């Protein structure tokens, strides 16, 4: 049964497809800007015009969607840039919409890229305040919907954020905008390169008071359950590779579409080893993404989306 590629292909169980892939992009101010992220070779901070071009190229290669992050002009205590009508992500959403009307546009909904302290919520007395953060997170989601996002993706890990967003979207007449919840998001060392890319390293402390402890599996079910009740349309597990058991559990317990985020550090590890000639990058990439698919993900957010799509197109 393994003798030839034709037979192997006939009996293959999990099939990675281009339709499963979402490309994360980082929008920054300016024009014609393409600044490579040093810890993520091949990933760039892109001005809005370049975002549109990059999205069009990805779509052309069969990647159906992008998820957008923003590096604002300036940061403050209340994350004003996150919900500004002319904010960098809002402009990036409009630019992708205009350039590639059929592309799925997802906006990451969080405050950490926009707060002066780099935390995902409102801070007082050195602590992140859950309930006080919900209003700003909901306002951010509405502004992203106004700009044309198909899907908002709350990633702040504040309790009740999905419910708050659903209510705010419905009130603002965006009942059709879907919520992809980062329901199961662990406090992870693998977000390191992202924080360089998005300039969102917390100025003090860490995110362990709101992101999950990596040792916890049952808690993932509780987190997912709450978000289902609050109106999530997708669930997400993040990171992906070190949490394949969690992906499988969530897949088996819930019927919503399931996303997995192959995060910055997972990408950086493969890149670094490949650059040293220690692994075959293409094969390691395809094996990694296939593993995530096999574990139960329907949607994979990955910085490798374009490379993987190219590879899949050749098969």
Q: Which residues bind ligand PBG (CB under 6 A)?
A: 108, 110, 112, 120, 155-156, 191, 194-195, 207, 263-264
CA–CA–CA angle 253, 12, 235 (5° rounding) = 25
Q: Is 238 a catalytic residue?
A: yes
Q: Which is nearer to ligand PBG, 24 or 291 (CB)?
A: 24
The CB-of-74 to ligand PBG minimum distance in angstroms stands at 18
N-terminal to C-terminal alpha carbon distance within the chain:
19
Encoded tokens for 244: 């394949």
Q: Is 185 a catalytic residue?
A: yes
The CB-of-77 to ligand PBG minimum distance in angstroms stands at 17
The CB-of-237 to ligand PBG minimum distance in angstroms stands at 13
Q: Return the DSSP state at 75.
A: -
- CB distance 263 to 40 below 8 Å: no
What is the rounded (10 degree) CA torsion for 287, 293, 299, 303? -10
Q: Which is nearer to ligand PBG, 155 or 288 (CB)?
A: 155
Q: Which is nearer to ligand PBG, 112 or 258 (CB)?
A: 112
Q: Which is nearer to ligand PBG, 50 or 108 (CB)?
A: 108
What is the rounded (10 degree) CA torsion for 99, 138, 155, 57? 0
Total H helices, total E strands in the chain:
11, 12
The CB-of-84 to ligand PBG minimum distance in angstroms stands at 18
Distance, in Å, from the CA atom of 106 to the CA atom of 19, rounded to the nearest integer, reads 15
Bridge partners, 23 (sequence order) = 66
Extract the runs of DSSP E, i.e. beta strands, from the chain: 21-28, 34-37, 40-47, 65-70, 104-109, 122-124, 127-129, 151-154, 178-185, 234-238, 258-262, 299-302
The CB-of-12 to ligand PBG minimum distance in angstroms stands at 28
ω into 308 cis (within 30 of 0): no
Distance, in Å, from the CA atom of 303 to the CA atom of 300, rounded to the nearest integer, reads 10
Q: Which is nearer to ligand PBG, 18 or 207 (CB)?
A: 207
Q: Which is nearer to ligand PBG, 191 or 234 (CB)?
A: 191
CA–CA–CA angle 249, 253, 259 (5° rounding) = 65
The CB-of-275 to ligand PBG minimum distance in angstroms stands at 19
The CB-of-11 to ligand PBG minimum distance in angstroms stands at 34
SS3 of residue 163 by DSSP: helix
Which H helix or E strand runs over 222?
helix 218-230
Q: Which is nearer to ligand PBG, 99 or 264 (CB)?
A: 264
Q: Give catalytic residues, as residue numbers.
A: 185, 238
């Amino acid at each position: 049964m393994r003798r030839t590629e034709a037979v192997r292909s006939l009996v293959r169980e999990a099939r990675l497809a281009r339709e499963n892939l979402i490309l994360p992009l980082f929008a920054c101010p300016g024009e014609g800007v393409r600044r490579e992220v040093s810890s993520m070779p091949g990933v760039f901070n892109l001005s809005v015009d370049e975002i549109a071009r990059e999205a069009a190229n990805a779509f052309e290669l069969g990647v159906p969607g992008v998820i957008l992050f923003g590096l604002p002009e300036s940061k403050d205590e209340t994350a004003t840039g996150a919900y500004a009508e002319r904010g960098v992500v809002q402009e990036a959403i409009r630019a992708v919409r205009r350039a590639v009307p059929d592309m799925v546009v997802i906006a990451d909904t969080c405050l950490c890229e926009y707060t002066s302290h780099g935390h995902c919520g409102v801070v007082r007395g050195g602590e992140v305040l859950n309930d006080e953060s919900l209003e700003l997170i909901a306002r951010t989601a509405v502004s992203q919907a106004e700009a044309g996002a198909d899907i908002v993706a709350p990633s702040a890990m504040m309790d009740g954020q999905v419910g708050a967003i659903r209510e705010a979207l419905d009130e603002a007449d965006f009942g059709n905008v879907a919520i992809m919840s980062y329901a199961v998001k662990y406090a992870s060392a693998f977000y390191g390169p992202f924080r360089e890319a998005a300039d969102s390293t917390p100025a003090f402390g860490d995110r362990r008071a709101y992101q999950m402890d990596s040792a916890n599996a049952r808690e993932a079910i509780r987190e997912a359950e709450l978000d289902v009740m609050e109106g999530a349309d997708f669930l997400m597990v993040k990171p992906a590779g070190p949490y394949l058991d969690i992906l499988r559990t969530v897949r088996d317990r819930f019927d919503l579409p399931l996303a997995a985020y192959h995060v910055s550090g997972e990408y950086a590890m493969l890149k670094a080893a490949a650059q040293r000639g220690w692994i075959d990058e293409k094969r390691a990439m395809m094996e990694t993404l296939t593993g995530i698919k096999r574990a139960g993900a329907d949607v994979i957010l990955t910085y490798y989306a374009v490379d993987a799509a190219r590879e899949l197109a050749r098969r």
